[in-house]
Structure 1
Amino acid sequence: MRTTPLFARLATALASGLLLATASQASATGLSPASLAAAVELRERASGDGTAYALIESLTTEIGPRLPGSEADARAVAWAKARFEALGYDKVWTEPVTFPKWERRSEHAAVVGVHAQPLVITALGGSPGGEVTAELVRFDSLAALEAADPATLRGKLAFVDVPMARSRDGSGYGAAGPVRSRGPSIAARKGASGYLMRSIGTSPHRVANTGITRFDAGVTPIPSAAMSLPDADQLTRLLQRGPVQVRLALDVGWNGEYTSQNVIAELTGREAPDEIVLIAGHLDSWDLGTGAVDDASGVGITMAAGHLIAQLPQRPRRTVRVVAFANEEQGLIGARAYADAYGGPDVIARHVIGAESDFGAGRIYGFNTSAPSGERATSDAIAEVLRPLGIDYLQDKGSPGPDISPLAAKGGAWGWLGQDGTDYFDLHHNADDTLDKVDPDAVAQNTAAYAVFAWLAAEADGGFGSAPKSVP
């Protein structure tokens, strides 16, 4: 721990041009010069700190993939609890999260007949098992599937071939997402015997992207899988030559219930311990890679940010809480349980603001919060301290992270630290999501941003607009 007085460090920061927050901002937020100076110190120290990367390496190497309900899920919970305790948090605990357990045992697909050849596929989470050999019927949009005459699909394999657009902010994922979430139910309702889709991803490699699907009530589930982009293109070319028969064989399915844990740690606020600034990632992953960018990176970044704040001479004014959420991948299960426990109308305002790192390990390029126009002074001050990290204040951008969204729906304020996701969907939910794709320098920049955000949000007197609202 450094012993140089905070006010001396403030003078150094001002002299070097590092501290850009204005005196009026400090006054409006209640942020003292010492608090702002500590934020600059955090930013500079975190930018060269390797704690987050070491945590990512440890989680992906020692635990590997962490499918919810698997044996590795339990080991990941024990890992997170032990790491939080070793990193200097004041309090560490777990809270149970129970959910149906889905298992993947084996999966195969192939073109049969005159052009026989294997296909690279992966079952969608939530798919039932089963074996289907049937003629393929291709659709170039979900709307085309919805409009199809059931007579053309009865007993056939529906193949929905919708490319996903590459983008920095991941907007292409939202546009393509219904192909996975809604497509299987639509196909089943029309009498299809199975469902194949072009993976929601951007990788040119022969890897398939999994992800959860849900079947509508009253629909009999059908075997459903995604295929690599090169395989989807291959099928389209084969269909131009005539009818194509495909055999799809999945040994997967739901198998009872499992209880995992949200792992929670906090630095107790020195003046307002009941007011919480939340930063988070999710502990689970899909099982094809090792879950390095989704979301060991988020876990490592937020764990390390709290650890660096713990090394300051005093605790923040408010409590900083870090959560490693359970089972994000199959429907925000841990986050919904957390919101049920802490998002009631009498307590939601105590969650002053929350932010989640769950978009890989790319550099953060933008910052914003949901604070209304009359309560943006603290956001303005945070943005100024983040600016030297190459982070722009984008007041018309952003949204809550997935695991923050259940709290946000109940009125909780959110922060957005937007990561560059240009290459994220080359890795998302596929076998290429491994440690070698993680850039340690980018992870350090992320850690610096989250440490500054959490510290200043916790030091400020002002809030960000958290208030209860009704949830439909």
Structure 2
Amino acid sequence: MRPALRLHALAACIALACPAFAAEKATTIPAKAVEAATALRDKAMADNTGYEFVSGLTTEVGPRLAGSAADKRGVEWTVAKFKAMGFDKVYTEKVSYPLWERRSEHAAIVAPYPQNLFVTALGYSAGTPAGGLTADVVAFDTLDALKAADPATVKGKIVYVSTHMQQQKDGHDYGMGSATRTRGPVLAAKMGAVGYLLRSAGTDPHSRTPHTGVTGFTKPEDAIPAGALSLPDADQLERVLKEGKPVTIKLDLDVGFKGTYEGENVIAEVTGRKKPNEVVAIGGHLDSWDLGTGAIDDGAGVAIAAAAAKLIKDMPLRPDRTIRVIAFANEEMGLWGGRAYAEAHAKDVAKFQLGTESDFGAGRIWRMTASVKPGARGAIEQIAKVIEPIGVAYDPNKPGGGGSDLSQMHAKGMAALSLTQDGTDYFDYHHNANDTLDKIDPKALAQNVAVYATFAYMAAQADGNFGSAPDAFKGDGAHD
């Protein structure tokens, strides 16, 4: 080819937006949408739809342990509530998972100083033999210390591992506490332990309310009895252990696996006016642990998403894109609803405009982070300016993970936000009997609804997309 022809070909390639040279148009949010979102924000701040939702769910249904009769009632209640709220579409999608049941639980120091301990069984724990399990205790200060132990010192004993979480606004100590709860029992079982106890992954040192949560067991045949002690009871056990005398505990857990259960994700939609097949996804998980009533974990999350979507639905003009609310099934025992949803919808990930889930209580949102394409950063900054007056700061240096269940769609390539709530006291109540409605401040919940309504509406009205595509955000760390 002659040089002149090469130049003409290159020019034609650029004009036709060849991938190697194309400059993608930046995503922006029109001024009218920003104005409407500002009014929506202010309306939401004075609205009580979210609080009424979580109040009804926790009062009329209560705790919703995955696979229980109450879980099924929760699904039925939510379907009916979504329909009563006037959403355009309300439907369910099946989710299958192992059924685990809690029936009764008890623990006591047998020697050297007999006394009862406040304990709760952990999810996917095995039950003890009829009449209970009695064995000596071997204690470790950390999970790493257990990892380094000689298996001979563990075999035939009940392993106890301490955890010491501190209150933090972003709750980052939970990474340590969660690892001790999930990985510890699995490791102890492989080393020959007959049982496992941990100091609860919580921050309420004066409350005898143990915190439950799932273990890392995936097969019933691999599981051993595992439980969590309340923090005062863990302190008591540690004082006895420090005397250097052999300590014997009796653990009696009537719990265990019982086949497979078919649950449901509950979904509601406000259908988009111009691009109904493009979706802004918001949600929370509908299941809860059974010790409390599942108010902050995660009735509040479902309520925030539902209330935000209803406020958008009630606007004079429908959003351009669809707002989809997802109440996920069985997050607590392994993201079952989120994983099922991601597998079912991965092929359509490019149609997901932006998404995130609320699953960190009901404290005020104070930080927003995002995983979006570079050309959409300006639109994120526009969203940030609208929610900044209600206390939310934008950190452009951190990725957004989408929340617990929607992290699975983010892993498939969905552009995602993280809207971080103030979790200073969240782990006082997380997974324990004190997770009840009185822990929710209606005004703080309304601020959450305002943030979700604002971002969802602005994303739905954006000119351009936020970068969702298969594997678009692989390796950003937000969904690991």
TM-score (norm 1): 0.92
Q: Offset of 1:29 from its aligned partner?
A: 3.9
Q: Offset of 1:396 from its aligned partner?
A: 2.1
The counterpart of 2:407, out of the listed 405, 408, 411, is: 405
Going from structure 1 to structure 2, the CA distance change for 1:28 and 1:150 (only over 3 Å counts) comes to closer
- The superposition leaves residues 293-332 of structure 1 with CA deviations (integer Å, 9 ceiling, x where unpaired) of 0000001111000000011011101111001011111111
Q: Offset of 1:85 from its aligned partner?
A: 1.0
Q: Structure 2: how far apart are the matches of 1:257 and 1:219?
A: 15
460-469 vs 321-330, which moves further? 460-469
Larger radius of gyration: 2
Alignment of 1:115-264 (within 5 A): 115-130=113-128, 131-204=132-205, 205-215=207-217, 220-241=222-243, 242-264=245-267
Whether the 8 Å contact between 1:139 and 1:145 is mirrored in structure 2 is yes
1:306 aligned residue: 309
Give secondary structure in 2 for the equivalent of 1:177: helix
1:47 aligned residue: 45
User: 1:322 and 2:291 equivalent?
Assistant: no
The one-letter amino acid of 2:311's match is L
Q: Structure 1: how far apart are the matches of 2:219 and 2:312?
A: 47
Going from structure 1 to structure 2, the CA distance change for 1:185 and 1:297 (only over 3 Å counts) comes to same
Q: Offset of 1:216 from its aligned partner?
A: 6.3
The one-letter amino acid of 1:172's match is D
Gap runs ≥5 in structure 1: 1-26
Give secondary structure in 1 for the equivalent of 2:466: coil
Q: Offset of 1:33 from its aligned partner?
A: 2.6
Q: Structure 1: how far apart are the matches of 2:99 and 2:218?
A: 18
Give secondary structure in 2 for the equivalent of 1:376: helix
Q: Structure 2: how far apart are the matches of 1:458 and 1:388?
A: 21
- The superposition leaves residues 251-287 of structure 1 with CA deviations (integer Å, 9 ceiling, x where unpaired) of 0001111111111111111111111000010100000
Q: Offset of 1:168 from its aligned partner?
A: 1.1
Whether the 8 Å contact between 1:184 and 1:195 is mirrored in structure 2 is yes
User: 1:464 and 2:466 equivalent?
Assistant: yes
The one-letter amino acid of 2:466's match is F
Q: Structure 2: how far apart are the matches of 1:468 and 1:384?
A: 29
Whether the 8 Å contact between 1:188 and 1:219 is mirrored in structure 2 is no
- The superposition leaves residues 166-214 of structure 1 with CA deviations (integer Å, 9 ceiling, x where unpaired) of 2111211112221111111111111111100111111121111111112
User: 1:283 and 2:286 equivalent?
Assistant: yes
Q: Structure 1: how far apart are the matches of 2:221 and 2:80?
A: 43
- The superposition leaves residues 358-403 of structure 1 with CA deviations (integer Å, 9 ceiling, x where unpaired) of 0000000011211133321211111010011011111123432011
1:6 aligned residue: none
Detail structure 1 runs of 4+ shifted over 3 Å in the superposition. 27-30, 216-220
Q: Structure 2: how far apart are the matches of 1:416 and 1:193?
A: 40
2:8 aligned residue: none
Give secondary structure in 1 for the equivalent of 2:173: helix
Q: Offset of 1:28 from its aligned partner?
A: 5.4
1:350 aligned residue: 351
Whether the 8 Å contact between 1:283 and 1:325 is mirrored in structure 2 is yes
Q: Structure 2: how far apart are the matches of 1:341 and 1:140?
A: 42
Q: Structure 2: how far apart are the matches of 1:52 and 1:439?
A: 11
The one-letter amino acid of 1:308's match is L
Going from structure 1 to structure 2, the CA distance change for 1:391 and 1:310 (only over 3 Å counts) comes to same
Alignment of 1:81-100 (within 5 A): 81-100=79-98
Q: Structure 2: how far apart are the matches of 1:77 and 1:60?
A: 13
Q: Structure 1: how far apart are the matches of 2:83 and 2:354?
A: 24
1:450 aligned residue: 452
The counterpart of 1:107, out of the listed 94, 100, 105, is: 105
The one-letter amino acid of 1:343's match is A
The one-letter amino acid of 1:56's match is V
1:333 aligned residue: 336
Q: Structure 2: how far apart are the matches of 1:296 and 1:40?
A: 26
Whether the 8 Å contact between 2:170 and 2:423 is mirrored in structure 1 is yes
Q: Percent identity?
A: 54
1:439 aligned residue: 441
The one-letter amino acid of 1:41's match is A
Whether the 8 Å contact between 2:26 and 2:376 is mirrored in structure 1 is no
Give secondary structure in 2 for the equivalent of 1:338: helix
Gap runs ≥5 in structure 2: 1-24, 476-480
Going from structure 1 to structure 2, the CA distance change for 1:114 and 1:217 (only over 3 Å counts) comes to closer
Whether the 8 Å contact between 1:378 and 1:462 is mirrored in structure 2 is no
Q: Offset of 1:218 from its aligned partner?
A: 10
Whether the 8 Å contact between 1:185 and 1:219 is mirrored in structure 2 is no
The one-letter amino acid of 2:223's match is P
Q: Structure 1: how far apart are the matches of 2:257 and 2:174?
A: 26
2:22 aligned residue: none
Aligned pair count reads 444
Q: Structure 2: how far apart are the matches of 1:75 and 1:379?
A: 38
The counterpart of 1:78, out of the listed 76, 79, 86, is: 76
User: 1:425 and 2:432 equivalent?
Assistant: no
